[in-house]
Amino acid sequence: MTYFKKKKRFNKKKREADPPGLAVTVHNNNIEFALKRLKRKVKNSNLMLDLRKKEYYEKPSKIRREKKNLAKLRNKYKTLKEKPNH
């Protein structure tokens, strides 16, 4: 029987999880890194797109019309892509 020595592993310090929502904590006065994380969170949450949409009121009929037109456009380009080029 042989016994193997276990390798010592160093425990890395675990960072605290960010607070919920769109907030970040600043570690070691590293504002640039915290700002970078905050910008990434805002971008991933689509907050700016929602704010832009809700900047002014749009009638529900206009929203439906735009969705319908976008669907037509997608379908048009899909059929053009599927057509073989001669």
Residue type, 46: N
Structure tokens belonging to residue 29: 């006065």
Kindly report the pTM of this predicted structure. Answer: 0.52
> Which DSSP state fits 79?
H
Is 25 within 8 Å of 35 (Cβ atoms)?
Answer: no
What are the residue ranges spanned by the domains of the chain? 31-82
Helix (H) or strand (E) holding 61: helix 60-82
For the stretch 7-55, pLDDT in tens is 667 666 666 777 788 899 998 999 999 999 999 999 999 999 999 989 9
